[in-house]
Amino acid sequence: MMSALCVIVASSAGADTVADWAEATTEIATEGPNTVRTMALAQNAVYEAVNAITGRYAHDRVDLGAAKGASVDVAIAAASHAILAHEAPLQAQKIEAVYAQAMAAIPNDAARALGVSIGEQAAKDVLGKHTDDIPPIEPYRPLTTPGVFVPPTFPLGYAVAQHHPWFMKSAAQFRAPPPPALTSALWARDYNEIKAVGSATSTVRTAEQTDIARFWATALPDVHLRLVRVVDELPGRDLTRNARLYAAVAAALNDGEIAILDTKYHYQFWRPITAIRNGDRDDNPNTERDADWTPLIATPIQPEYPCGNCAVAATVVTVMQADMGREPLPLLRTTSNTAPGVTREWTSAAALLKEIANGRVYDGVHFRSSTEVGNHMGEQVGKLVAAAYGLH
């Protein structure tokens, strides 16, 4: 698949610069710290810049100075470039290369100069609003009894759980209730389902289910962002509306990531590989131990509950549905870095969310209850942020 960076360079005037730069920003941000936050900063700077020029959403318009006659495409590029340069300095060579190539195709005139000014001012404004997002971080403290060894690999995402959200009142606003009690029938159901279908050597998982599992083994946000482009490319949409959609989606992902990681580290619930290899210690007679059970994919290095992949998808489709209003979502499709060359499609958001939930169970890394809770949390965050952007 063509790199998103190449897409920008190949784009001509009139192409969907918002979507192209959104994908390029995501590609670069995944190689640096605070990936989702960087995406949110960039997409909101892009929206501010575009809306300052078009003035379509007067209630959201930020005064960035005289914008009449500014090149919208240049403003998008300049806003994206400024955010990336600030947030991902270790990727400076790549950032400068793609920016220079994109700008080389645009005449060096007054419209270009004004577009650069508007884009850079928008980035400065957004960065200024979010200088306090990351408070002093309390380092992860391994759970152990003094003197007892624990693996010296620390989990991921602990710091993000401490970030200040943009729209939620706190990271814990949508914190999920506790995971199923280990003595419950629900726990036995979840345990035995994933033990059978999520094992690396499962004899009950079908070839199609394995394909789904491989597709949703990804941990990168680009698989979800590509869903947005399906709406972005619908006939009759304009650049400002698309910029707002991407800004809302990225901001919702930022708050959603904080909410999910807050819940994960609040409960620190064990992953299937730990639970199944300790099935004789959960005081449940219906969970038989398998001493060498291994999941289909490598287990993520963070607590299990709830399913983050499920929550992210639910957040994205909730914001997209709000943007569409009463119109149904179009045929959804996306690709995944863990299933090269494969494009999957869904006729509804419900079908998409069901497949992702199933995929994470087939992967052997998430229990069924966790996927259901993740979907609900994502929907809650998505509705809150969509309303903040006036999507309904």
Encode the chain (392 residues) as per-residue pLDDT tens digits: 346 555 554 444 345 899 999 999 999 999 888 999 999 999 999 999 999 999 999 999 999 988 899 999 999 999 999 999 999 999 999 999 999 999 998 999 999 999 999 999 999 999 999 999 999 999 999 999 999 999 888 899 999 999 999 999 999 999 999 999 999 999 999 999 999 999 999 999 999 999 999 999 998 999 999 999 999 999 999 999 999 999 999 999 999 999 999 999 999 999 999 999 999 999 999 999 999 999 999 999 999 999 999 999 999 999 999 999 999 999 999 999 999 999 999 999 999 999 999 999 999 999 999 999 999 999 999 999 999 999 97
Q: What share of the chain is helix, strand, coil (3-state, %, to 5)?
A: 55, 5, 40
Check residue 66 and give its pLDDT.
87
Check residue 4 and give its pLDDT.
54
Cite the beta strand spans of the chain per DSSP E: 332-335, 343-346
Are the CB atoms for 321 and 392 separated by under 8 Å?
A: no
Length of the chain counted residue by residue: 392
SS3 326: coil
Check residue 105 and give its pLDDT.
87
Element (H, E) at 333: strand 332-335
Check residue 12 and give its pLDDT.
40
| Sign of the four-CA dihedral 134, 139, 144, 149 | positive
261/257 Cα distance (integer angstroms): 6
